[in-house]
Structures are given as structure tokens and as C-alpha cells.
Amino acid sequence: MQNTVILPQWLDNLIFEQLGAKYCRSNSDMTVIDWDKNDVLNYLGTYFPRSYAESYCIFSEFFKSIPQQFADKRELRILDFGCGTGGEMVGLLQSIDSFLPQVTHINLVGIDGNLHALRLLEKIITEYQKRTRLVISLQIAPIHIGNFYDLSVLNEIIKDQFDLILSFKAICEFVTKDQFEGANPYSHIVNTYFPYTSNSGIIVLVDVTSYNNVSNEWLPMMMDKGLASINCKIINRNDGYNYTFSIKHSRTNECFDYSKVCWRIVKQ
């Protein structure tokens, strides 16, 4: 699998020059939902490129063989849980543009509790629309999920079934804030979203590989434990508990930035 990406020049200019993103590396446990505008701009410059690279590489590899469930589709419905500023969305869209030529229309739903991040997401998708053959419809859902009881609000806003449901580096925040009363958030969120997948739909989980000081557990092990406890099939995954992606952009100068994540693609 490709694991090295150079951020497209137009996207580099957009996030750093026009939107004011800052490259600010941090390895601490994050709770992005609580961040103010400046925090989100730091996130945009640091984690957006990483999510773009992770998503583009994971989905490009997945789509290269054009899985049967996507081979005849002209339209894809995609939901991103904890979408933030949308790095994984743009990486996914770019891989669809490159490897699924039969797809022409994309319906996107982005769920996140940080309004600053959602405003940036809208601007980025608007600019991406000018540079792709894809016709994109974006619906944002500013929802704060405080615990697993709040997930019931999904019934009020989600009326469709989706071909792809994503969660990139979002579930770790629920672990850090201990919002699920000790329950495994990976199994609970996958079970919550399975009813919203189409017959051929998949759920893609990507999360950081750090040791979480709240759960006192390595997050990849927690993910695997959660998936093993429910009725699902892992159809693709990285080997082991972490996979390294490298991303180059204007703020890394001659070097690369790196991210280590654990990823699983599951279906019912």
C-alpha cells in the first residue's frame, strides 16, 4: 500500500495561506470538540494533512480492485462521524475521483460538535468542488455527543442508508472523556451505525495508536476487542496495531510529517 503523500498544492495554499492553518504537532490526548477557533486552526494545519493522507491511501488501495459492491454505483452516500475539518473526506473524494470513474455524484453528511471545524469544512469542500468532476452535496450536522444516549438523535437527522460510514480519529475522544460509562465505544458506535449502512455498505474506523491514560489501555487493542464482541466482519485492515503514513506539505519544509494509526474496514 502507498503510504507517502504530498498534499496537493491547491489544498496546501487553501488551508495555510487562505484559511490561516498552523502546523503545531502534539501527541497529547485530544478533545477537539471543546476547541476554540485558534485551536481548530492548529488542528487544520497539523491533523488535516495527516487525515487526508491516511484516507487517500486506505481508500485508493481498497478501490483499486473496484469492489463488487461499488462497481455499478453512479452515486455514493457517505457519512463521516466526527468529521472535523474534513481531511479524511477530501482524501476519500480524491480516491473516488481517481479510482471509481463510474461514480459521478456524492452525497456527504458530516457530523461534528465543533462549529468552527464545520465552517472550515464547508469552505474546503466548496473549493474542492471546483477541482473535481464529482458533483458533491454536503450536509453538515452540528451535533454534540455527550454520551451514548445522545446517539439516539441520529434517528432524527439520518433518513438514508449509506455506502460508506467513516470515523477517523474521533472515537478516541469519547475514550479520553470517558463518555460511554466504561462501555467499549468502538463496538457501541459500530452497532449504532450498522442500521444506517446499505446492503453493501461498509464502516471504516481509523484511530490513533496511543496508550490512553483514561481507559488505561492501548487504543488499537480496545478497537479490536470492541469489534470482536459484536457481529461484524473485518474485510480489510492494517497488519498489527499501527501503520505509519507520511505526508509532506509546505510547513514541513524538506521533511515529512508522520502519523501512526490503526484502521479496520468492517461490514455486517
CA distance linking residue 193 with residue 184, whole number of Å: 15
Q: Is the pLDDT of residue 191 over 70?
A: yes
| Calculated CA dihedral for residues 77, 82, 84, 90, nearest 10 degrees | -30
Closest listed residue to residue 80, CA positions, set 166, 160, 142 = 166
Q: What is the pLDDT of residues 217-250, one digit of tens each?
A: 999 999 999 999 998 999 999 999 999 999 999 9
- Which of the given ranges, 36-40, 125-129, 185-189, 192-196, has the highest pLDDT on average? 125-129
For residue 231, with 0-12 CB atoms within 10 Å meaning exposed, 13-18 middle and 19 or more buried, which class applies? exposed
Of 57 and 70, more confident = 57
C-alpha cell of residue 121: 469544512
Pick the CATH number of 4-267 from 3.40.50.150, 3.50.50.60, 3.40.50.10470, 2.60.40.650: 3.40.50.150
**pLDDT of 131 higher than 90:** yes
The position carrying cell 500500500 is 1
Query: What integer pLDDT is reported at residue 26 of this predicted model?
Result: 65
Closest by Cα among 67, 75, 157 to 112? 157
| Mean pLDDT along residues 124-153 | 84
d(CA 255, CA 158): 42
Q: What is the mean pLDDT of residues 37-65?
A: 94
175, 212 Cβ separation under 8 angstroms: yes
**Angle, nearest 10°, between helix axes 87-99 and 37-64?**
30
pLDDT, residue 29, reads 46
Element (H, E) at 190: helix 185-193
- The CA–CA distances, whole Å, from 249 to 4, 57, 84 equal 11, 16, 20
Q: Which of 21-30, 37-46, 80-89, 177-186 has the lowest mean pLDDT?
A: 21-30
pLDDT at 142 over 90: no
Q: Which residues contact 62 (CB under 8 A, 6 or more apart)?
A: 236, 265
Mean pLDDT of the region 76-81? 96
213 pLDDT band, cuts 50/70/90, is confident
Q: How far is the first Cα of the chain from the last one, in angstroms, to the nearest whole number?
A: 25
Instruction: Write the CA distances from 230 to 124, 189, 195, 221, integer angstroms.
Output: 36, 11, 14, 15
Percent of the chain with pLDDT over 70: 92
pLDDT at 266 over 70: yes
Q: Is the pLDDT of residue 10 over 50?
A: yes
Please give the sequence-ordered ranges of beta strands (E in DSSP) within the chain, or none if there are none.
Answer: 4-6, 75-81, 105-112, 135-142, 162-168, 197-208, 211-212, 217-218, 233-237, 243-248, 257-267
What value does the mean pLDDT take over residues 185-208? 93
pLDDT greater than 50 at residue 186: yes
| pLDDT given for residue 177 in this prediction | 78
pLDDT level of residue 152 (50, 70, 90 thresholds): low
Check pLDDT > 90 for residue 106: yes
Which residue ranges make up each domain of the chain? 4-267
Inter-residue contact 76 to 96 (CB < 8 Å)? yes
Mean pLDDT of the chain: 90
